[in-house]
Amino acid sequence: VKEIVMEGVQPIVDALTEYEEINQKFGLPEYYEDADKMDKLFARQGELQDIIDATDAWNLDSKLERAMDALRCPPEDASVEHLSGGERRRVALCRLLLQKPDVLLLDEPTNHLDAESIDWLEQHLQQYEGTVIAVTHDRYFLDHVAGWILELDRGEGIPWKGNYSSWLEQKTKRMEMEEKTASKRRKTLERELEWVRMAPKARQAKGKARLNSYDKLMNEDIKEKEEKLEIFIPNGPRLGNKVIEAKHVAKAYGDKLLFDDLNFMLPPNGIVGVIGPNGAGKTTLFRLIMGLETVDKGEFEVGETVKVAYVDQQHSDIDPNKSVYQVISGGTELIRMGGRDINARAYLSRFNFSGGEQEKLCGVLSG
């Protein structure tokens, strides 16, 4: 883990290493007996000194230790190969922050972080000397960190000064203004529609310009209507008393014990949240239930009428070379949902996949 994190500051590490090597050369006869070589050493030492001072490299080890501790990174000698998805994200974030780039692009930075780690990250970014651009669904994080909000709305980028709460207030006022404008536009459209429906002879020579004006109003009205997601989730078959039951389950990876004598029973129609720190075995628990990994002891029992679906962090069951339509429909026009046939394209449109978007390859989709 430490090697991966240090890769982010490799130029600084190299400068420190070379600086120490130069200090050792000062004591060698081949250097102190040669004035030209000594002058070159002093010159290079001065260059390295400037680099080290500018990057505060003398405190690199302590900064590394503080960052890894604050982000709850795994032990520095742990192998990255055996880390969970959340642990890998923490290590990557730690490495990135130590680099201190001029522009920091963060995609969902608070994912997999606990409350204390998020608090440390917020304080760190508030004092960050460069530019930070973050894409996040964490409203509290935006409230504490952001000084500007860039809203992407119907193909436009709208900048707002302030944090998330300030954006909400400004957005509400803007929507009120838009509603008033839309009301006036609708009344104008109604009048224009009556005129458009008139017999051609009733229109004068100015009709062409008026028709163009009507088309423009219609386009504005269509653009104004945002698509609303209506996700259809059909009722499944009636569940019996047993859904999923864990009986004396144990699981370990080498010396790392995840579960020992784990017992639980999921209730029918229940919604259960699994919480725990990174590396505690949350993903492993799902993989054990699905039979993707084997338990060391005990067993999981799944009810006879229960069908289990699993969506993993990497979406590994989605073929990136197939289109959205192919993945969902399997190439058939109708799909079976809740005991009835549904048009596959109509079903996809409920998830905001319409028209050409249904033919996009899954490999080019965002997370």
Among 47, 74, 100, the domain-final residue is: 100
At 258 the pLDDT is: 92
- Does some domain include residue 70? yes
Whether residue 349 is found in the same domain as residue 254 = no
At 24 the pLDDT is: 85
At 226 the pLDDT is: 43
Whether residue 78 is found in the same domain as residue 44 = yes
At 236 the pLDDT is: 67
Whether residue 280 is found in the same domain as residue 351 = no
In the chain, which ranges are continuous DSSP H helix?
2-7, 10-25, 29-32, 35-54, 60-70, 85-99, 115-126, 139-145, 164-196, 207-224, 282-289, 324-329, 344-349
Whether residue 295 is found in the same domain as residue 335 = no
- Does some domain include residue 40? yes
Whether residue 4 is found in the same domain as residue 86 = yes
Q: Specify which residues 157 forms β-bridges with.
A: 152
Whether residue 298 is found in the same domain as residue 328 = no
- Does some domain include residue 33? yes
Which residues, other chains included, contact 305 with Cβ-Cβ below 8 Å and sequence gap of 6+? Answer: 237, 238, 239, 240
Please choose, from the candidates 303, 276, 300, 275, the residue with its C-alpha nearest in 3D space to the C-alpha of residue 289.
Answer: 300
Whether residue 14 is found in the same domain as residue 50 = yes
At 211 the pLDDT is: 53
Residue tagged 């040669």 (tokens) = 34
CA distance 57 to 99: 11
- Does some domain include residue 358? yes
Task: List the domain range (segments joined by +) for residue 347.
Answer: 324-364
What's the whole-model pTM score? 0.52
- Does some domain include residue 233? no
CA distance 102 to 99: 9
DSSP letter assigned to residue 350: T
Secondary structure element (H or E) that encloses residue 292, with its range: none
- Does some domain include residue 20? yes
- Does some domain include residue 95? yes
User: How many Cα atoms are found within 13 Å in the side-chain-facing hemisphere of 326?
Assistant: 11
Q: What is the CATH number of the domain that holds 285?
A: 3.40.50.300
- Does some domain include residue 96? yes
Tell me the pLDDT of the chain (367 aa) as tens digits: 888 888 888 888 888 888 888 888 888 888 777 788 888 888 888 888 888 888 788 888 888 888 888 888 888 888 888 787 778 888 888 888 888 888 999 988 888 777 878 888 898 899 888 899 999 988 899 899 999 999 887 778 888 898 888 888 888 888 788 788 777 777 776 776 665 566 555 555 555 555 566 556 555 554 444 444 556 666 666 777 889 999 999 999 888 899 999 999 998 888 898 888 777 888 899 999 999 999 999 999 998 888 888 888 777 788 889 899 898 888 888 888 767 788 888 888 888 887 788 888 988 887 6
At 244 the pLDDT is: 92
Whether residue 80 is found in the same domain as residue 26 = yes
- Counted domains in the chain: 3
At 198 the pLDDT is: 61
Whether residue 28 is found in the same domain as residue 61 = yes
Q: Specify which residues 250 forms β-bridges with.
A: 297
Whether residue 22 is found in the same domain as residue 94 = yes
